[in-house]
Amino acid sequence: MLQFCEWLEHNSWIVWIDSSIPLSLLFEIMHYSGFFLLVGSTVIVDLRVMGLAARDRTPAEVGRQLFPWMWTGLCMVVLSGFFMFAGDAGDFYGAITFRLKILVVVVAVAFGLIVRSQVPRWSELPTIPAGAKIVAFLSLVLWIGSILISVEVPAISGVG
Protein backbone atom coordinates (compact mmCIF):
# COMPACT_ATOMS: atom_id res chain seq x y z
CA MET A 1 0.00 0.00 0.00
CA LEU A 2 2.85 2.38 0.86
CA GLN A 3 4.41 1.63 -2.55
CA PHE A 4 1.11 2.52 -4.23
CA CYS A 5 0.89 5.79 -2.22
CA GLU A 6 4.45 6.71 -3.21
CA TRP A 7 3.73 5.88 -6.86
CA LEU A 8 0.56 8.02 -6.67
CA GLU A 9 2.44 10.94 -5.10
CA HIS A 10 5.04 10.90 -7.90
CA ASN A 11 2.57 10.35 -10.74
CA SER A 12 3.10 13.14 -13.30
CA TRP A 13 -0.60 14.13 -13.31
CA ILE A 14 -0.74 14.31 -9.53
CA VAL A 15 2.53 16.29 -9.39
CA TRP A 16 1.10 18.70 -11.99
CA ILE A 17 -2.22 19.10 -10.09
CA ASP A 18 -0.44 19.45 -6.74
CA SER A 19 1.89 22.15 -8.03
CA SER A 20 -0.96 24.18 -9.56
CA ILE A 21 -2.11 26.84 -7.08
CA PRO A 22 -5.53 27.43 -8.78
CA LEU A 23 -6.28 23.68 -8.85
CA SER A 24 -5.16 23.16 -5.26
CA LEU A 25 -7.37 26.09 -4.23
CA LEU A 26 -10.27 24.69 -6.26
CA PHE A 27 -10.02 21.28 -4.54
CA GLU A 28 -9.76 22.93 -1.13
CA ILE A 29 -12.89 25.05 -1.81
CA MET A 30 -14.70 21.96 -3.14
CA HIS A 31 -13.67 19.96 -0.05
CA TYR A 32 -14.93 22.57 2.42
CA SER A 33 -18.15 23.30 0.47
CA GLY A 34 -18.91 19.60 0.10
CA PHE A 35 -18.16 18.97 3.76
CA PHE A 36 -20.48 21.77 4.93
CA LEU A 37 -23.25 20.49 2.64
CA LEU A 38 -22.73 16.88 3.76
CA VAL A 39 -22.50 17.54 7.51
CA GLY A 40 -25.12 20.31 7.55
CA SER A 41 -27.80 18.24 5.79
CA THR A 42 -26.97 15.03 7.70
CA VAL A 43 -27.08 16.79 11.08
CA ILE A 44 -30.50 18.35 10.32
CA VAL A 45 -31.96 14.90 9.48
CA ASP A 46 -30.36 13.42 12.62
CA LEU A 47 -31.77 16.26 14.74
CA ARG A 48 -35.22 15.69 13.20
CA VAL A 49 -35.10 11.97 14.05
CA MET A 50 -34.11 12.96 17.60
CA GLY A 51 -37.13 15.32 17.70
CA LEU A 52 -35.00 18.47 17.95
CA ALA A 53 -35.59 20.09 14.53
CA ALA A 54 -38.41 20.74 12.02
CA ARG A 55 -41.02 18.99 14.15
CA ASP A 56 -43.86 20.11 11.88
CA ARG A 57 -42.42 17.83 9.13
CA THR A 58 -41.95 14.07 9.30
CA PRO A 59 -38.35 12.78 9.29
CA ALA A 60 -39.08 11.24 5.87
CA GLU A 61 -40.12 14.63 4.43
CA VAL A 62 -36.99 16.31 5.81
CA GLY A 63 -34.87 13.40 4.57
CA ARG A 64 -36.31 13.45 1.04
CA GLN A 65 -35.41 17.12 0.76
CA LEU A 66 -31.92 16.88 2.24
CA PHE A 67 -30.57 13.40 1.41
CA PRO A 68 -29.70 14.37 -2.21
CA TRP A 69 -27.47 17.17 -0.83
CA MET A 70 -25.90 14.78 1.64
CA TRP A 71 -24.78 12.50 -1.23
CA THR A 72 -23.79 15.46 -3.43
CA GLY A 73 -21.65 16.77 -0.55
CA LEU A 74 -20.13 13.31 -0.02
CA CYS A 75 -19.18 13.01 -3.72
CA MET A 76 -17.58 16.49 -3.63
CA VAL A 77 -15.64 15.59 -0.46
CA VAL A 78 -14.42 12.23 -1.77
CA LEU A 79 -13.36 13.58 -5.19
CA SER A 80 -11.54 16.66 -3.87
CA GLY A 81 -10.22 14.70 -0.88
CA PHE A 82 -8.60 12.16 -3.21
CA PHE A 83 -6.61 14.86 -5.02
CA MET A 84 -5.68 16.57 -1.73
CA PHE A 85 -4.51 13.18 -0.39
CA ALA A 86 -2.68 12.14 -3.58
CA GLY A 87 -0.21 15.05 -3.50
CA ASP A 88 1.15 13.89 -0.11
CA ALA A 89 -0.04 10.28 -0.22
CA GLY A 90 3.12 8.84 1.35
CA ASP A 91 2.98 11.19 4.35
CA PHE A 92 -0.78 10.75 4.81
CA TYR A 93 -0.39 6.96 4.68
CA GLY A 94 2.00 7.07 7.62
CA ALA A 95 -0.17 9.39 9.73
CA ILE A 96 -2.22 7.54 12.34
CA THR A 97 -4.63 10.49 12.70
CA PHE A 98 -5.37 10.37 8.95
CA ARG A 99 -6.18 6.65 9.12
CA LEU A 100 -8.41 7.33 12.12
CA LYS A 101 -10.13 10.12 10.19
CA ILE A 102 -10.92 7.79 7.26
CA LEU A 103 -12.23 5.17 9.71
CA VAL A 104 -14.50 7.69 11.48
CA VAL A 105 -15.82 9.03 8.14
CA VAL A 106 -16.52 5.50 6.82
CA VAL A 107 -18.43 4.59 10.01
CA ALA A 108 -20.31 7.94 9.86
CA VAL A 109 -21.31 7.26 6.23
CA ALA A 110 -22.47 3.75 7.27
CA PHE A 111 -24.67 5.34 9.95
CA GLY A 112 -25.92 7.82 7.35
CA LEU A 113 -26.94 4.89 5.15
CA ILE A 114 -28.79 3.27 8.06
CA VAL A 115 -30.68 6.51 8.79
CA ARG A 116 -31.39 6.98 5.04
CA SER A 117 -32.84 3.47 4.69
CA GLN A 118 -34.85 3.47 7.93
CA VAL A 119 -36.29 7.01 7.97
CA PRO A 120 -39.39 6.15 5.86
CA ARG A 121 -40.23 3.27 8.24
CA TRP A 122 -39.62 5.36 11.39
CA SER A 123 -41.86 8.12 9.99
CA GLU A 124 -44.84 5.75 9.70
CA LEU A 125 -44.71 4.80 13.39
CA PRO A 126 -46.79 6.78 15.93
CA THR A 127 -43.60 7.80 17.77
CA ILE A 128 -39.96 7.61 16.74
CA PRO A 129 -38.43 4.56 18.47
CA ALA A 130 -35.70 5.13 21.07
CA GLY A 131 -33.34 2.96 19.00
CA ALA A 132 -33.78 5.32 16.02
CA LYS A 133 -32.93 8.30 18.20
CA ILE A 134 -29.78 6.53 19.44
CA VAL A 135 -28.72 5.77 15.84
CA ALA A 136 -29.31 9.43 14.86
CA PHE A 137 -27.39 10.62 17.94
CA LEU A 138 -24.45 8.34 17.10
CA SER A 139 -24.50 9.62 13.52
CA LEU A 140 -24.36 13.20 14.86
CA VAL A 141 -21.48 12.37 17.23
CA LEU A 142 -19.58 10.61 14.43
CA TRP A 143 -19.83 13.62 12.10
CA ILE A 144 -18.71 15.99 14.86
CA GLY A 145 -15.94 13.48 15.58
CA SER A 146 -14.94 13.54 11.91
CA ILE A 147 -14.54 17.33 12.09
CA LEU A 148 -12.40 17.00 15.23
CA ILE A 149 -10.17 14.31 13.76
CA SER A 150 -9.89 16.32 10.51
CA VAL A 151 -8.49 19.33 12.35
CA GLU A 152 -6.25 17.07 14.43
CA VAL A 153 -4.56 15.57 11.32
CA PRO A 154 -2.43 18.67 10.57
CA ALA A 155 -2.21 19.61 14.28
CA ILE A 156 -0.75 16.26 15.38
CA SER A 157 0.77 14.74 12.22
CA GLY A 158 1.82 17.98 10.52
CA VAL A 159 0.39 16.64 7.23
CA GLY A 160 -2.18 18.47 5.10
Partner 1 sequence: MYEFFMALAKWLQNTWWALDISGSTWAYPFVQLTHFTGLSLWIGTNLSLDLRLLGVGSKRQTAAQLSDALFVWNWTGLGIAILGGFMLFSSAATKYIPNLAFEVKLGILVPLGVLWHILVQWHARRREQADNVTPFGKLAGLIELLLWFSVIIAAVSIPNYDTSH
Please identify, using beta-carbon distances, which residue of 5 and 31 lies nearer to partner 1. Answer: 31
Q: Decide: is 41 part of the binding site for partner 1 (CB under 8 A).
A: yes
Q: Decide: is 157 part of the binding site for partner 1 (CB under 8 A).
A: no
Buried b (16+ CB within 10 A) or exposed e, 102-139: eebbeebbebbeebeebbeebbeeeebeeebbebbbbb
Question: Hey, which residues between 12 and 31 contact partner 1 (CB under 8 A)?
Answer: 25, 28-29
Which amino acid belongs to residue 61?
Answer: E
Number of residues near partner 1 (by CB under 8 A) = 35
Q: What is the dihedral of CA 56, 52, 48, 46, to 10 degrees?
A: 170
* Among positions 11, 18, 57, 133, the unique one binding partner 1 when judged by CB under 8 A: 57
Beta strands (DSSP E) in 1-105 are none
Residues in contact with partner 1 by the rule CB under 8 A = 25, 28-29, 32-33, 35-41, 43-44, 47, 53-54, 56-57, 61-62, 64-66, 68-69, 73, 143-144, 147-148, 150-152, 155
